[in-house]
């Protein structure tokens, strides 16, 4: 089985996935994220062959980093795009409050990073034959929570990722290039620290994600990425891992 993977990110879900793939004997190259986190992860995981803490919004940087990663891995079979995050610090919120600058920055962080990562992955797979690309969406794209997560630019960026998955999966099916996404709800990562520390949101989470009763453990979400990476019969899918979020109404 093919076992050469690029992962974007260095902490949270990305770190959990790197550890899991390391145990499955994948060779891994990390792109983006924080250099210190990547360095620590590389010391922990013997199959991480390199990392480059580039800005994944920068076109020239990502082009060069992909070339370097592919050379170091001596090929490429799987690309997983995880880097992204909240746009609250930019001013994301209700659409009537969002400045164009906040909109642009939030989409750059979530959608542009996914686009550039997907483009470089597809370019390689299209020329070299087959591969899998897994993007990262969010349950907020389809199951909004306006009381606590009124972040319209973020939701729009993740909705666009869902559309990208469907169109790319269809366009490259004949080349056996598979494109999917994992769509998690609240996960216990550094990005969700604000929600975890808020007692009101904590109580909301216990009711909205009743299968777990709290923020999702990273391992639950990592299992979804592994399924999409390794199941050669799956493409064009948005895999919801939400602890029941999308089935609970009135909360």
What is d(CA 5, CA 121) in angstroms, rounded to the nearest whole number? 11
* Residues in a beta bridge with 52: 31
- DSSP readout, 164-198? HHHHHHHHTGGGTEEEEEEEE-SBSSGGGHHHHH-
Percentages helix, strand, coil for the chain (3-state, rounded to 5) are: 50, 15, 35
Whether 29 is catalytic: no
Cβ count near 147 (within 10 Å): 10
Tokens 């606590």 belong to 148
Catalytic member of 26, 29, 154, 225: 154
**Orientation of helix 113-128 relative to helix 59-73, angle to 10°:** 40
Retrieve residue 8's tokens.
């974007």
Quick one: DSSP state of residue 48? E
Which of the residues are catalytic? 154
């Amino acid at each position: 089985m093919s076992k050469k993977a690029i992962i974007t990110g260095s902490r949270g879900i990305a770190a959990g996935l790197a550890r899991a793939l390391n145990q499955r004997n994948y060779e891994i190259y990390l792109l983006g994220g924080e250099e210190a986190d990547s360095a620590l992860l590389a010391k922990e995981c013997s199959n991480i062959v390199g990392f480059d803490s580039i800005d994944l919004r920068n076109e020239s940087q990502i082009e060069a980093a992909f070339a370097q990663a592919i050379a170091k891995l001596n090929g490429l079979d799987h690309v997983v795009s995880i880097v992204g995050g909240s746009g609250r610090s930019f001013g994301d919120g209700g659409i009537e409050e969002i400045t164009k600058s906040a909109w642009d920055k939030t989409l750059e962080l979530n959608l542009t990073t996914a686009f550039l990562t997907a483009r470089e992955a597809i370019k390689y797979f299209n020329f070299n034959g087959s591969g899998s690309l897994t993007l990262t969406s969010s349950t907020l794209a389809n199951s909004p929570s306006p009381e606590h997560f009124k972040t319209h630019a973020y939701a729009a960026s993740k909705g666009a990722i869902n559309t990208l998955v469907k169109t790319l999966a269809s366009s490259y099916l004949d080349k056996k290039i598979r494109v999917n996404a994992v769509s998690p709800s609240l996960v216990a990562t550094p990005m969700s620290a604000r929600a975890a520390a808020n007692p009101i949101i904590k109580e909301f989470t216990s009711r909205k994600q009743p299968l777990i009763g709290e923020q999702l453990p990273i391992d639950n979400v990592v299992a979804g990425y592994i399924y999409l990476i390794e199941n050669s019969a799956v493409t064009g899918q948005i895999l919801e891992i939400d602890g029941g979020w999308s089935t609970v109404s009135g909360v």
